[in-house]
Structure 1
Amino acid sequence: MTGEDKAPRTERGRRTLRALLDAAAAEFGEKGFHESSVVSITSRAGVALGSFYTYFDSKESLFRALVNHMSGQVRDYVAPVLPGKGDQIDAEGRALSAFLSFARKNKEIYRIIDEAEFVAPDAWNAHYGTTVERIFERLKSAESRGEIGGPVDEAHAWAIMGMNVFLGLRYGVLGEERPVDEVAAIVNGLLRNGLQA
């Protein structure tokens, strides 16, 4: 996240790093990358300016680390709900419900990930690439268990991720009027049955 040489070695250092990442998420989420400054981020975090450079070389390196951190947060938020009753389509519904809940609590992720395409394209690519890899692996495993028809293609994983991203935007950021499980049930019906009459 910060580079091997700048990774915190103490609990206090880990707390400082978390404070910087949390402050950066709020700052970049509100103001965007270009309008945010290291000074405003450290002030928001309650961290001395000099401490910032203990962990990051620049605002850009902090932004890149934040994108990686947020991507990891999504993964960690969704992973525990994947095991459970039913088949892989049921699991994908639980994953979507969890992601929508995450998006509602972390609305800034959309602005940050969108900006990452231009500010930190490597982190942006990694965010979407690793997400698709995880979905694709789940689908291939489900295919091998006979839970879904095949052949499963990477395009299926991109389609599911694309739906999830835009559903998170609509029902996580733009409005919260529908229960996340209701939205997930609609999408699960689409995954299970398609739109064919």
Structure 2
Amino acid sequence: MTRDVPTDTDRLSALPRPQPRKKKLSREEKAQLTLRNLLEAAAAIVGEHGYAATTIANVTREAGVAHGTFYNYFEDRQALFDVLLPYVGERMTDYITASLAGVGGGLEREVARFRAYCGYLRVNPGFYRILYEAEVFAPKAFDAHIERLTEGYVRAFRRAIAAGDCYEMGDEELRAIAGILLGARAYVAMQFKDTGVIPETAIAAYESLMKQGLFKAK
């Protein structure tokens, strides 16, 4: 019986292939990654247990960093709370903006914006607690978040006015309308926070209100 003798090529092909070397992170990149991990950990803990129950120890444990590392980024727990909502809020608006790609203007865009907000809450239910408890535990962050959303709405309205999709309004009226819409979408969403699913009927009601108004003209 003839035995097959492995060739040099066979022997080489049997060797484990070298894995591509991972890019070594710079010091700045490592610092940014650690900061993001701390914020993500805080978002998870506050979203589930609230601000009062969130400690530096459980944030660093969740983030997988040493307790002392926390102080390279934040002076104390309050300093973390003061940036948490703006961080999470920016992720929310990024999600909504991405969802609006290819959507038209005016009413269609506003309804799509509300639907995207509902979608974000479905996959990030902890956002409710981070937002509403911030008014007590991180009021500066809460005010900054609301102001950023208001200014974003005002800019969107101005574009809609320029495109002929919205009635002419001054800045004060635009800010008032922005507040009304932010409140409407927040409180509609809160009605369904236990299930995490905002039904299409609620979105349709929002669309109807935006399209037709609430009261009939006499």
TM-score normalized with structure 2 length: 0.78
Give structure 1 stretches of 5+ with no counterpart: 1-7
TM-score normalized with structure 1 length: 0.86
Q: Is the 8 A contact 1:82 1:92 kept in 2?
A: no
Aligned counterparts, 1:13-162, within 5 A = 13-151=31-169, 153=173, 154-162=175-183
Q: Is the 8 A contact 2:122 2:197 kept in 1?
A: no
Q: Is the 8 A contact 1:67 1:123 kept in 2?
A: yes
The change in CA–CA distance for 1:62 and 1:9 in structure 2 (over 3 A counts) is farther
Q: Which has the larger radius of gyration?
A: 2
Q: Is the 8 A contact 1:28 1:36 kept in 2?
A: yes
**RMSD over equivalenced CA pairs, Å:** 2.0
Secondary structure of the residue that 2:191 maps to in structure 1? helix
In 1, Cα distance between the equivalents of 2:125 and 2:84? 14
Give structure 2 stretches of 5+ with no counterpart: 1-25
Percent identity of the aligned residues? Answer: 31
Q: Is the 8 A contact 2:86 2:145 kept in 1?
A: yes
Number of aligned residue pairs = 188
Q: Is the 8 A contact 2:60 2:66 kept in 1?
A: yes
Q: Which has the higher contact order (CA 8 A, sep 6+)?
A: 1
